[in-house]
Amino acid sequence: MDGILDFFQPANISIEPSEDGVRRLSDSALIHTQDFMPVPEDQRIAIFGVMDDRGAHNNEGCSDGPDVIREYLYRLHDIDEPMGIIDLGNIHPGERLEDTYAAVRVVCHDLLRENIIPVILGGSQDLTYANYAAYESMEQTVNLVTVDSRLDFGGNPEQPDSWNYLNKIVLHQPNYLFNYSNIANQRYLIDKDLIELMEKMYFDLHRLGEVNGQITHAEPVIRNADIMSFDMSAIRAGDSPGHQLAGPNGLYAELACQICRYAGMADKLTSFGIYEYNPRYDERGISGHLAAQMVWHFIEGISHRRGDFPVGTKDDYIKYIVPLADHELIFYKSPLTDRWWMDVPYPSKSGNRYQRHHLVPCTYEDYQEATNEEMPDRWWKTFQKLT
């Protein structure tokens, strides 16, 4: 574990002690500075920056984002519960972009192996590929959720950038990606053929209007994720101008924070990244403030994890059986949090590789659909993947 420390340089920030007696996040986090190098052990969360934007698509300068986010993050009040936070510092660009990917992969792999949650401050969003590769080396199937106004497919997968890195994830062999979901995409920014391809692959796309209108629809999608990758350009320019391509439409700031809190509360989610924040375009530090608050909400969400993902025995859960057409739909409700799951059968030929995806997070509305003799779309898409 100590070997990963060689990848890091200290964060270039000033941490001043609180003068008002109020505990700040900086009071409980172990932060790599010029004078102090913390060692990762027994922590729950590891923050680190990646100062590389060679994969950025028309957003050069986002490599300067990590330390600006930190300046705002560590001024925020501390989380109510001790969280065990370590800030490892920054990974600087390798000689080649692939060298940076390799460093991020190794760091994430070692942290995940120790049950420490990596929180990545980008840098460009193609670094998500390096995060994914850490799971691949563990031979673990992965559900990936991106929050993005676009779908980052297209171009040459051998030359990934922030607008096509998903090619490299989807096409790479051996492939451990089980499901991909996107939240807050804007249809007029996406080619029709790509939408059709996503539907054929049974990937989940949730348009901006759906999420802005009912943010709770995003919760079960996030609850089923292993990785979340958040592109700051998914937030409307009025709330977050810090991106060269920030547009007039997008998520509202408070919804971005709510999504991050959902991610923190998701028992299954084990890594999180915020990408594409560019200080060059950030008037009055609005986006830097917001990105810091998003990280804070993610950490605060982790403090509210209840460990109620129904694995093993389900005796403590309320079970509902709904006969529907040729299938018998089984739902489970947690008496602890009132959250819902669906039991989706899979053929034995799939083996144990997909067993963890047997139970799919859902909503009460999915259960209502089934009782009204309508097959929930979430159930059907998962069933198609497993057959």
Domain ranges of the chain: 2-302, 318-386
Percent of the chain exceeding pLDDT 70 equals 96
Q: What is the pLDDT of residue 299?
A: 98
| pLDDT tier at 313, thresholds 50, 70, 90 | confident
Task: Write the pLDDT tens digit of every residue in 98-110.
Answer: 999 999 999 999 9
Q: What is the pLDDT of residue 157?
A: 65
The architecture (CATH level 2) of 2-302 comes to 3-Layer(aba) Sandwich (3.40)
* Per-residue pLDDT at 289 exceeds 90: yes
Two tokens at 362? 């859902």
Contact between 241 and 281 under an 8 Å Cβ cutoff? The reply is yes
pTM for this predicted structure: 0.94
Q: What is the pLDDT of residue 159?
A: 75
| Mean pLDDT to the nearest integer, 332-337 | 93
Q: Please indicate whether residue 16 or residue 283 has the higher confidence score (pLDDT).
A: 283
| Distance between CA atoms of residues 130 and 144, nearest Å | 13
Task: Write the pLDDT tens digit of every residue in 212-265.
Answer: 989 999 999 999 999 999 999 999 999 999 999 999 999 999 999 999 999 999
Please, what is the Cα angle at 249 between 65 and 376, to 5 degrees? 105
Phi, psi of 51 (to 5 degrees): -95, 60
| Mean pLDDT to the nearest integer, 171-188 | 91
Cβ atoms < 10 Å from Cβ of 39: 12
Q: What is the pLDDT of residue 352?
A: 47
| Distance between CA atoms of residues 371 and 173, nearest Å | 41
Q: What is the pLDDT of residue 354?
A: 46
Please, what is the Cα angle at 14 between 10 and 15, to 5 degrees? 100
Enter the DSSP assignment of 232. Answer: G
Task: Write the pLDDT tens digit of every residue in 45-55.
Answer: 999 999 999 99
* Per-residue pLDDT at 128 exceeds 60: yes
For 46-60, 76-90, 166-180, which range has the lowest pLDDT when averaged over its residues? 166-180
Q: What is the pLDDT of residue 308?
A: 87
Q: Please indicate whether residue 120 or residue 355 has the higher confidence score (pLDDT).
A: 120
* Per-residue pLDDT at 113 exceeds 70: yes
Contact between 279 and 232 under an 8 Å Cβ cutoff? The reply is no
Q: What is the pLDDT of residue 355?
A: 46
Helix axes 364-371, 377-386, angle to 10 degrees: 90
Mean pLDDT of the chain: 91
* Per-residue pLDDT at 325 exceeds 90: no
For 162-171, 219-228, 282-291, which range has the lowest pLDDT when averaged over its residues? 162-171
| pLDDT tier at 143, thresholds 50, 70, 90 | very high
- How close are the terminal C-alpha atoms of the chain, in Å? 40
Q: What is the pLDDT of residue 350?
A: 46
Task: Write the pLDDT tens digit of every residue in 336-380.
Answer: 999 999 999 876 554 545 444 478 999 999 999 999 999 999 998
Q: What is the pLDDT of residue 222?
A: 98
